Amino acid sequence: MPGYIIVGMQWGDEGKGKIVDYLTQEAKVVVRFQGGNNAGHTVVVRGEETVLHLIPSGILHTDTQCIIGNGTVIDPAVLIEELDGLAEAGCEVDGRLGISEAAHVIMPYHKILDGAQERFRGANRIGTTGRGIGPAYADKADRLGIRIGDLLDAETFKRKLKSVLEYKNALLSKSFGEAELDFDSIVEEYQGYADRLRPFACDSVALTHGALQAGKRVVFEGAQGAMLDVDHGTFPYVTSSSTMAGGVFPGAGIGPRNVEAIIGIVKAYTTRVGEGPMPTELTDEVGEALRKHGHEFGATTGRPRRCGWLDVVQLRRAVMVNGMTHMVITKPDVLGVFETIQICTAYTVDGEKTETFPTSLARIESAQPLYEEMPGWNCDISGCRAWEEFPAEAQAYFKRLEELIGVPISIISVGPGREQTVVCVDPFN
């Protein structure tokens, strides 16, 4: 049975965690293929909220195998904290969680460098979460990284750390005025992590292909969103990994023939955390209303999200580079407080109208949105459980999105709970 890729189509925070959890009812394996604990996926089951940063969102299903793939970067302390939290909540993960031996480890110097680099950038800061994600990926590209497999072998870990730490300490002290890190303290701390994580280490590629060959349905869970991709996002205000559907191939070690569908998650309005351009951002009472009614605060950082109307120009670009086959709309219930709703269908850039998302940062920053207005439904739709239960105005809004984006809507999520889900077309069929 083939795999199904779930990716965010905006700037992250689209509701991927809820959708992965919902779809995992029909899947046996969930693989996280990129990113680190800079992502926060929130799952609500029977009113209980669980926020996951590294462990795949399918873990709350007791018969589901979850895999953290080789394309991720792992902070062992955060991962262990998640494991402890799940254990306290009565969620048993032993035998169901695999951690790739090829995934890279976030080290103490990565987090210090992350903060120091942001301070050095000053007004040009990226707005990172400060969790060491970027520096860890940079070390991977520089061939300086330490992987989970290295961590589990004490002598290999010490040898690699000794070599890398000499360079990092020189960089920290001479370039950023930071205190040097102690080799023995890091070894002691990280060998404790190794002992705890050793039972979960695996060849994630072999495990994933074994599931596919056995005919099991596999869901591949992405983190962040399309416009934070290091190649196709609003560079340099992006993350340090490939957030695209195509990132699953190196990040999980599968090939295109293993993929049946690409399920793109689209929030019914637009949000962004951190720095960088966002053409439809609203800084008025409408933007504040979206933030208030949508509870738009980061699951990982707690930072308030920037909010604005839905940007179809940006979405068309995301559809193009991801090859999205199914669209999932989340949080349209938030729009129930508005009498009219705006959809950005084009920009003006340097006085010219365009329906194409610019690749130049300067042109994106100067883009002015052109809106199409639609009547709102002005009521609560969070209790809807079938298409027929939506008011006519909401149905018209959803149909218009399909026309503008060119992809059919498969699922509409009208709240955080599993039960608050309307299936229009089964993405697995």
Residue 228 has a pLDDT of 96
Query: CATH code for 3-100+202-261?
Result: 3.40.440.10
* Distance separating alpha carbons of residues 186 and 292, to the nearest angstrom: 42
Q: Which helix (H) or strand (E) holds 290?
A: helix 285-294
Determine the residue type at 277. Answer: P
Determine the residue type at 253. Answer: G
* Distance separating alpha carbons of residues 16 and 224, to the nearest angstrom: 9
* Distance separating alpha carbons of residues 39 and 41, to the nearest angstrom: 7
List pLDDT tens digits, range 382-395: 999 999 999 999 99
Lowest mean pLDDT among 126-130, 157-161, 421-425: 126-130
Q: Domain 266-423: give its CATH superfamily.
A: Adenylosuccinate Synthetase, subunit A, domain 3 (3.90.170.10)
* Distance separating alpha carbons of residues 361 and 286, to the nearest angstrom: 26
Neighbours of 41 (CB within 10 A): 25
130: left (phi over 0), alpha (psi -120 to 50) or beta: left
Say whether pLDDT at 45 is over 60.
no
Handedness of CA 136, 139, 145, 147 (dihedral sign): positive
Residue 43 has a pLDDT of 66
Neighbours of 272 (CB within 10 A): 25
**β 270-272/306-308 pair status:** antiparallel
Looking at the chain, which residues constitute the CATH 3.40.440.10 domain(s)? Answer: 3-100+202-261
Phi, psi dihedrals of residue 225, rounded to the nearest 5°:
-145, 170
Handedness of CA 184, 189, 190, 191 (dihedral sign): positive
201 contacts: CB under 8 Å, gap ≥ 6: 98, 99, 100, 101, 148, 149, 152
Contact at 8 Å (CB) between 221 and 33?
yes
Residue 121 has a pLDDT of 77
Q: In terms of residues, how long is the chain?
A: 429
In the chain, % of residues over pLDDT 90: 79
Say whether pLDDT at 115 is over 90.
no
Looking at the chain, which residues constitute the CATH 1.10.300.10 domain(s)? Answer: 104-197
Among residues 21, 41, 110, 150, which one is catalytic? 41
380 an active-site residue? no
Contact at 8 Å (CB) between 97 and 87?
no
Looking at the chain, which residues constitute the CATH 3.90.170.10 domain(s)? Answer: 266-423
13 an active-site residue? yes
The two tokens of residue 293 are: 């009614």
Is the model's pTM score more than 0.85? yes
Task: Classify 104-197 by CATH class.
Answer: mainly alpha
